Structure 1
Amino acid sequence: MNNNRKALSIFMRARMRPLSPTTFVCVNEQNRINQMQFPPIDGVRNGKVSTSQDASATLHTDVVRVQQSMHAAMSMNKTEILDVALDDFSEGYYGLPNENRRALLLTLAREYDLNRKQVRDLMKQYLGLELPSSDKPLENAHEGEGSFSAFYRIERNLRESLKPMYEVLFERLNTHPGGLRFLSIMRADILSFLAEENTAVLRALDSYLKEKLITWLSPANLQLHHITWDDSASLLEKIVAHEAVHPISNLLDLKRRLGMGRRCFGYLHPAIPGEPLIFIEVALMKHVAQTIQEVLWDDPPIPECEATCALFYSISSTQPGLSGINLGKFLIKRVIDVVRRDMPTISTFATLSPIPGYMQWLLSKLAPTEISDSTFSENLLTPEEESALLEATEYLLQEKKRGKALDSVGNFHLQNGAMVGRINWMADLSEKGIKQSAGIMVNYIYEVEHIEENAQSYFGDGEIGASDEVRSYLEPRQEDHQEEIKD
């Protein structure tokens, strides 16, 4: 190992010498990286720091050292030395403060991007080729092969040139021990920096890494795990730490959620053992629950043999770097399949979901109004409560962004193939529930035979499926609107 690190150190020092920039028309990704000049970071060039402050100089030197190992991780071919370079890069990156991570990621995004001059040259060559005339039959197969060989060659070169050089780094890290977790952390940093400053080169870096992660985290590469009280303490600690919807208050609360009448399932990846990437909590019930209190606090749970409904009441991700990668879609469908197989008495699959953006939307959009006539025959709600419930229906069914539901939780379930089944007043009395959605929660229904149909309608036309009960809440408002137009 020491010899490998010595060889790596010699290699990186050699790489620090400026290289003459060279443009290649057709070279593979490895040669392009080997030929490129080692890019500078602000205030740093060729390993020398141009600053008068020792502390700043140390920080810049650290960045240069990590950048050296990053470049080596893309340039090396010998397995033993490559492993050392990948280790040095990841360890060095972990040790950098945020401002230096940002500088390194900007360098990666800018200097290891694709070669656009090469792409343009290839496109010009491609556009300069003349297509064989379709009305003149080719005399033989060899003539056809010759006519298209130039197209095939340039198309192949274009495919290669359209790959950014940092793809090599991502691919190698993915197959390196601990590399997938590292890539997730790197992407979490990218997303954090983008939230502060929406930089085009970082957006491109994020988009490319996200597409890679989607491929590597396909359902075929994930393992469904039924999480129980008998799992390791470290795994259970992660469930407690990452529960994002209804915080777990103590060990008794955790044990209840994993015990009789309850299920918890998580997706694990072999490269990140002992840590679910995402997990879902399920309550086995006689009927679709209308309040979170009856799910979390009412005792005792019913005998499992009497359950007819599987209620999904919480789904949480443990990896911020996997944001936007819809693992939950596959997890819900897989859990439905498992529950149907193991418990044939269960025929209803539903959620009890929060409406996290509702109150913010309501307060910013609506002015105080009075309702003179009740639209509920039994007058169970006060006018203020009724107004909030009606506005929640409008928010869930009609408020959209880019043709899809404005509510993030709603958008998640609708794109998975669910429909809005029922809106429940005073369903979450916690401080968070009142603040986010005035205590209102939603039952999204997963009708197994209509899941794919609903998902296609939502993706294609933005159609939000809803029960007749939910749609009936909108009718008084629509009638009032029509009357206003007439007046």
Structure 2
Amino acid sequence: MAKDGLVDKLRSLIRGSGERGALTPRLEEKLRAQLRECAEGQGGEVSARARAARLAETYAGLDDAGRRRFLKIIALEFGPDPEQVAGAHAAYQAAVGTPGQWNAESALRRAMRSSRIRILTQFNAIPQGVKFLVDLRADLLRFLEQDPDLAALDRELESRLSAWFDVGFLELHRLTWHSPAALLEKLIEYEAVHEIRSWTDLKNRLDSDRRLYAFFHPRMPDEPLIFVEVALTDHLAGNVQELLDEHAPVFDHRKADTAIFYSISNTQVGLRGVSFGNFLLKRVIDDLKRDFPRLSQFATLSPLPALAAWVRRNPAVLAEAGIELSLEALSTGTWAADKTLQRALRDPLQRLAARYLANAKQASGAPFDPVSRFHLGNGARVERLNYLADSSPKGFRQSFGMMVNYLYEFDDIERNLEAFASDGRIAMSAGVRRQARDK
């Protein structure tokens, strides 16, 4: 098969447009033989590339049950040899303190290196190989929930992807309305915070008072890994519908003194656990400061995506905050049409959100809210709560319309980060902290 044909076929299969079949016993035995060839590294580079391409094509053509079996074979049958590891470990223990210690250590390291790594690494050489591995891990994460036997393979693949997607290899690009249409379509597809409703909506987010930046990997030039949307303003924005209003006049970006990060979307499920969002923000801030020297304030307008989930686990917090409506009633948002209820719920909902950000924790002690974990872990401060800031159905469903501004104050970032990392201390403005304590 010609190289271009293979690329097209793999791309089509990886995206799921091809028919998928079962892993028959005969095909399974053939698959095992191909995996053994990969693990043993038979032949030269051309042979390895061809073998990996055949394996990728086989995998991409399987249904879910077949893919799960494929991954389980790699996980269970191509790990380190226990006898070799035991022998190498005994030799290392005997060599400690002798001139042969370092050779014994090297031998132990080789013994512990599983054939799974050799198999995975060979996919790197084929067209679309890196994307194939990222999508393969997305499958692996789905199957892992019901099949703990896949955990070792997941850890090894995550480790390899972390190395291959090190931030030093990533490229930051600003995307504009003039970027390739296929790339703009992916922004619409991948936007995870505030749905892009139309091409007009997207064009508004790419206007002169907006910026959109994305990280790319050289081996995946057509796939943004993560992207951030920025609004240039002269105030701390507190309502996302106003921010995304397609009919609002375009702000003169030359007068901007504030950059609002209002959406950050990870696009590749298979890169879960591979962290580069913090580097994206730092790079974007540097880029904005260079282009707009007047910018003095960098903040977010962020959702509270797990607030309703926390209330569901702790229903007593509603009454404690002075809220008489049920979780279900709050989540519909219909109460917001009643001006009397609007006024009555302002302080209680802000109190609830402040206590959530200040006190809601995971079992590990980390903040319950994933967006909060991200920004606090990068040294931001919880600056201000915004009532009825997101009146979309999703906004009411996940946080009763509440949103929050996180502020990146450069003189405080390192101090905030160190306090959060060392003892979990959350940086908060005096106003939000007072709301968290209010009776």
Given the two structures, how large is their TM-score scaled by the length of structure 2? Answer: 0.86
Query: Does structure 1 conserve the Cα–Cα contact (< 8 Å) formed by 2:308 and 2:398?
Result: yes
SS at structure 1 position matched to 2:299: strand
Change (3 A) 1:448 1:95: same
Q: CA deviation at 1:395?
A: 1.1
Aligned to 2:232: 284
| Secondary structure of the corresponding residue to residue 445 of structure 1 | strand
Q: Which residue of 2 aligns with 1:185?
A: 135
Structure 2 portions without partners, runs of 5+:
3-20, 324-339
When residues 412 and 125 of structure 1 are mapped into structure 2, their CA distance, relative to the original with a 3 A threshold, is: same
Matches within 5 A, 1:2-401: 59-74=24-39, 75-129=41-95, 131=97, 148-195=98-145, 197-199=146-148, 201-297=149-245, 299-367=248-316, 369=319, 382-401=343-362
Deviation at 1:476, TM superposition (A): 2.5
Output the amino acid matched with 2:80: L
| Contact 2:321–2:352 (CA under 8 A) maintained in structure 1 | no
Separation (CA, whole Å) in 2 of partners of 1:99 and 1:164: 24
Deviates more, 1:329-338 or 1:413-422: 413-422
1:129 Cα offset (Å)? 4.5
Q: Is the 8 A contact 1:177 1:271 kept in 2?
A: no
Aligned-residue CA RMSD (Å):
2.3
State the alpha-carbon separation in 2 of the partners of residues 246 and 372 from structure 1: 30
Deviation at 1:331, TM superposition (A): 0.8
Displacement of 1:59 in angstroms is 2.8
1:96 to partner: Cα distance: 0.6
Q: Determine if contact 2:383/2:406 at 8 Å carries over to the other structure.
A: yes
Q: Tell me which of 364, 384, 389 is aligned to 1:427.
A: 389
* TM-superposed deviation, 1:122: 2.5
Whole-Å separation in 2 of the counterparts to 1:270 and 1:58: 33
2:401 is aligned, of 425, 439, 446, to: 439
For the residue of structure 1 that corresponds to 2:219, the secondary structure is coil
Mapped contact 1:352–1:441 kept (Cα < 8 A) = yes
Secondary structure at the counterpart of residue 449 of structure 1: coil
Identity level (%): 37
- Per-residue CA shift, 1:369-411, capped at 9, x if unaligned? 38789xxxxx996444422221211111111121211101111
Aligned mates of 1:261, 1:295 — CA distance in 2: 11
Kindly provide the amino acid, as one letter, of the partner of residue 409 in structure 1.
V
Alpha-carbon shift at residue 167 of structure 1 (Å): 0.9
Deviations 1:333-378 (A, max 9, x none): 11011001111111111111111110121133123538789xxxxx
1:449-478 per-residue CA deviation (whole Å, 9 max, x = no partner) reads 33333223222221211111111112234x
Change over 3 Å in CA distance of 1:332–1:372 after alignment to 2: closer
Structure 2 counterpart SS, 1:220: helix
- Residues 54-77 of structure 1, C-alpha deviations (whole Å, 9 max, x = no match): xx9873333333443333233223
Q: Which one has more relative contact order, counting CA pairs under 8 Å at least 6 apart? A: 2
Larger Rg over CA atoms: 1
Q: Is the 8 A contact 2:240 2:301 kept in 1?
A: yes
Contact preservation (8 Å) 2:395, 2:402: yes
CA distance in 1, matches of 2:22, 2:126: 31
Equivalent pair of 1:290/1:427 in contact (CA under 8 Å) = yes
Distance in structure 2 (CA, Å) of the matches to 1:460 and 1:253 = 42
- Helix, strand or coil: the match of 1:314? strand
User: Is the contact made by 2:262 and 2:300 (CA closer than 8 Å) also made in structure 1?
Assistant: yes
Q: Letter of the aligned partner of 1:348 in structure 2?
A: Q
Distance (Å, rounded) in 2 between the aligned partners of 1:336 and 1:64: 53
CA distance in 2, matches of 1:382, 1:120: 70
Letter in 2 for 1:176: I
CA gap of 1:58–1:463, structure 2 versus 1, over 3 A, is closer
